[in-house]
Chain A
């Protein structure tokens, strides 16, 4: 048995050294070229808040922010995270332990049932908040006013939830912006 284990360790995959900012801290690790960010976050850095709902880029449960843009971390190659700023759901929580307004709004509006989609939802919403508070990372502009319900829907299209029927998630998003106004 022991010999077998040795053999396993000797299997060589081409490794890449990557460094990035993870939830505000500089981190680095070795990874295979084919590894996706989701697995690196969960298995290397042991941050289990980012969920694998499908591993195929269809459900949004694995959403994280890469330089403030929401991405499906199950499709995003870890090597492409090199030099980037990554925010996961664990990084949303404020240093003093209080909830980010996005999280608070989801909780207060009853937008959470089984919770498996919730961290992805929170991250997608955080990205929307960014677009209204900071320069839009892609378009380079700050959006004015507050998003309409239709715009919120468009933004959350890629986040599936099987429990809530989305109503309370939309309510949470709307109230979030109303309170921010």
Chain B
């Protein structure tokens, strides 16, 4: 289809887009503020709110006792209180809420809230959590074959550990919510949420009212990346409680520092692996133990762990494989969804295995990768039993090796390294295979409501939310194409729980796949109704040659009879005729992903509708004296099926890669020994700036690869490109390895910060001396 600019692009660049904090509200608006725990684990005495309540300009000061409904905001498991009761479990856990005339007064009031803490022992390190066995839920396993026995029989073995770090979402718009009271119990919630239906459910729950009293609306988010899938609910629940208590509009917008301190991050993992392979580098058996730092509550941790386990194979066929997954509680904010949803951590383990095998056998890792890719005819069943259909790995590899000039540049890198002592170059090619669908199968459903008005304009409501990914633009394109009208006739409404109920989160990269299909379903119903009426009208024109709905074509704002093309009518005129003939011009649509099924207990089945593929080659330069690195060039080839909007898809690939690169290199999160986040401002937490992107960045979409399993033969795009950044990460490792002429396995972690790079180089130098 076509490249049209993002639906809101001109509003964005003129400052006319309205985010929560920009909404016009009357002068009765109050500012909400969250008073949160300063201790990682402590008993608290019932907070003294008296003084704060007396401060002029303060309208409400609430603690858990003031919650009219359930004190609960856990999305899946109800283990997360909305306001702390007698104990706090992390720095940042909410204890008291304040509503005041303005922010200054709210800040003053916060100072008057007295909370007494009695500190308890806190678990802040994942290794400590493993030691103390603070398991969130029983360990999960996925097995194929007999990895245990295979381990004993095979030639070569490697084993080791990999630590992957947390990552802060750093959406530009911090968590925000505005609540406006309605009649009686009604409440209108304007929330920057990826999951309006869940926000609605949680607001209803804390207020103790029915869901039909709560309307949640989301026009757009200023970025989300998973960080607003469950944790936008928190700000919404807090705002709703204050609105309910004061009967006035209330807004909470977290400051950047508070947002970073109190919201969850990408899960830290400790991955233990053991792999056996033959002398060619062919994998025979792999065992993984994935340990995740869940933070203090469950949130989405078990689903994230599951996706990590489902992606521990990345793109490779492993005859005997066993994966164990464990999520541990720690005294940190509850970790949550973040683009990739565990997939990146699972894949990082596997890519480390491949990289190590290559060094062990003194071969190019590219060769080992190719050797182990899933096959097309055989060796194409994953460790959880799903067939890798329409495997694009080989196509991507062959094309990218050529267009990136891999072989020649690899030689040049070697030559460079042989001549330079203090600067080393490294190169790596890494693949991505990513399963598309929610692994909790019932979530794979979507709804839509399409209204056509008498002037021929169309208003589309669907359950997905716009966070910058271009969902609404694609929905407009889909609706226009299906209805045969030009795109200017289609408007996509703000997502609203009163228009489309019981939706799933806009997540798992499935926003367009699911909602696009639901919109199509609604439009098909409308076309059939409209078509029947028009067929009757057309048949009146030449009664001897009657026509039927099947012969009508909707295109270019016209409806034409293909039997006699002179029988045609403009779309808007047709709508008037339909209305006069009492035809309903409003229809709902629904979709559920067919043919998927997944047995969580057995760890076997078909969890995914299809797979997305991509591949990337990066070349880096490492300064061995400072540990700094530069990404010299990255080539990406990514599979999005028949792209609905290539401009948007390329933007997703580029943005995803850079975000992944941040996670792999500079975005290090540190806590002090008391559980305080050390880098809670942009000053100390470095997301990539324009200077960090590859000096030479060549991004392309794989051509002529229609995907039969999704709307208009397209493919999901949002998450998979993030993991392309492993090419940069492993290129850095390759450069480090060059210091020891690839004779020693470098110590390595994710992120590969300057510090990690320096330590690793030092370690290699020691090993060289030791020899």
Contacts and interface: CB of A to CB of B under 8 A. Distances in A.
B683 interface: yes
Contact of B14 (A99, A162, A168): A99
Interface string A95-114: 00001001100111010111
A8 to B, nearest CB: 4
B468 interface: yes
B256 A54 contact: yes
A25 interface: no
Interface string B646-675: 011011001111110000000000000000
Given A112-B12, A113-B655, A52 B21 contact: yes
B225 A162 contact: yes
Contacts of A116: 19, 171-173, 222-223, 468
A56 B15 contact: no
Contacts of B683: 56, 58
A159 B13 contact: no
B57 A115 contact: no
B5 A162 contact: no
Interface in B209-238: 220-225
B682 A160 contact: yes
Contact of B689 (A54, A56, A157): A157
Nearest to A103: B13
B386 interface: no
Interface in A150-166: 153-154, 156-157, 159-166
A139 interface: no
Contacts of B693: 165-167
B263 to A, nearest CB: 14
A48 B56 contact: no
B219 to A, nearest CB: 11
Most chain B CB within a 10 A radius of its CB, from A61, A107, A113, A122: A113
Given A113-B655, A115-B468, A116-B172, A163 B13 contact: no
A112 B56 contact: no
B114 interface: no
A62 to B, nearest CB: 11
A49 B15 contact: yes
Contact of A162 (B16, B171, B657): B171
Contacts of B15: 47-50, 88-90, 119
A89 B682 contact: no
B105 interface: yes
Given A99-B10, A106-B9, A157-B691, A115 B222 contact: yes
Most buried by B among A102, A103, A110: A110
Given A119-B13, A165-B654, A160 B687 contact: yes
A144 interface: no
User: B-side binding surface: helix, strand, loop or mixed?
Assistant: loop
Given A49-B14, A167-B654, A167-B699, A108 B5 contact: yes
Nearest to B646: A110
Given A92-B14, A114-B223, A162 B687 contact: yes
Interface string B688-712: 1111010001010000000000000
B345 interface: no
A101 to B, nearest CB: 11
Interface string A44-67: 001111111111101101000000
Interface in B467-481: 467-470
- Choose among B12, B19, B173, B225 the residue with the greatest number of A CB atoms under 10 Å from its CB: B12
Interface in B429-477: 467-470
A114 B468 contact: yes
B406 interface: no
A131 to B, nearest CB: 17
Contact of A166 (B11, B170, B690): B690
Nearest to B682: A58
B398 interface: no
B599 to A, nearest CB: 37
A18 interface: no
A73 interface: no
A173 to B, nearest CB: 10
B8 interface: yes
Contacts of B11: 115
Given A56-B683, A89-B14, A115-B220, A165 B691 contact: no
B12 A115 contact: yes
B125 interface: no
Nearest to A54: B256
A112 B682 contact: no
B57 A8 contact: yes
Contacts of A110: 3, 5-6, 9, 647-648, 650-651
Contacts of B19: 51, 116
A8 B105 contact: yes
Contacts of A5: 57, 101
A31 interface: no
B595 interface: no
B255 interface: yes
Nearest to A93: B14
A118 interface: yes
Output the residue of B9, B221, B697 with the most chain A CB within 10 A. B9
Contacts of B224: 114
B8 to A, nearest CB: 6
A46 to B, nearest CB: 8
A163 B690 contact: no
Nearest to A48: B22
Contacts of B10: 99, 103, 107
Nearest to B225: A162
A169 interface: yes
Given A4-B57, A115-B8, A165-B657, A122 B13 contact: yes
B17 interface: yes
Nearest to B8: A115
Interface string B32-59: 0000000000000000000000001100
Nearest to B661: A165
A56 B682 contact: yes
A99 B256 contact: no
A112 B17 CA distance: 12
Nearest to A6: B56
Contacts of B659: 162, 165
B539 to A, nearest CB: 46
Contacts of B682: 54, 56, 58-59, 160
A103 B16 CA distance: 12
Interface in B317-344: none
Given A54-B681, A160-B172, A167-B693, A118 B470 contact: no
Contact of B658 (A4, A99, A153, A165): A165
A88 B16 CA distance: 12
Interface centre among A50, A53, A55, A116 (most CB of B within 10 A): A116
Nearest to A92: B14
Contacts of A4: 56-57
B467 to A, nearest CB: 6
Interface in A1-41: 4-5, 7-8, 11
A153 B172 contact: no
B5 A164 contact: no
Given A114-B222, A162-B225, A168 B691 contact: no
Which 7 residue pairs across A and B have the least CB separation, nearest first?
A49-B15, A114-B468, A115-B12, A116-B222, A165-B658, A58-B682, A116-B172
5 contacts: A8-B105, A119-B14, A162-B655, A164-B651, A164-B654
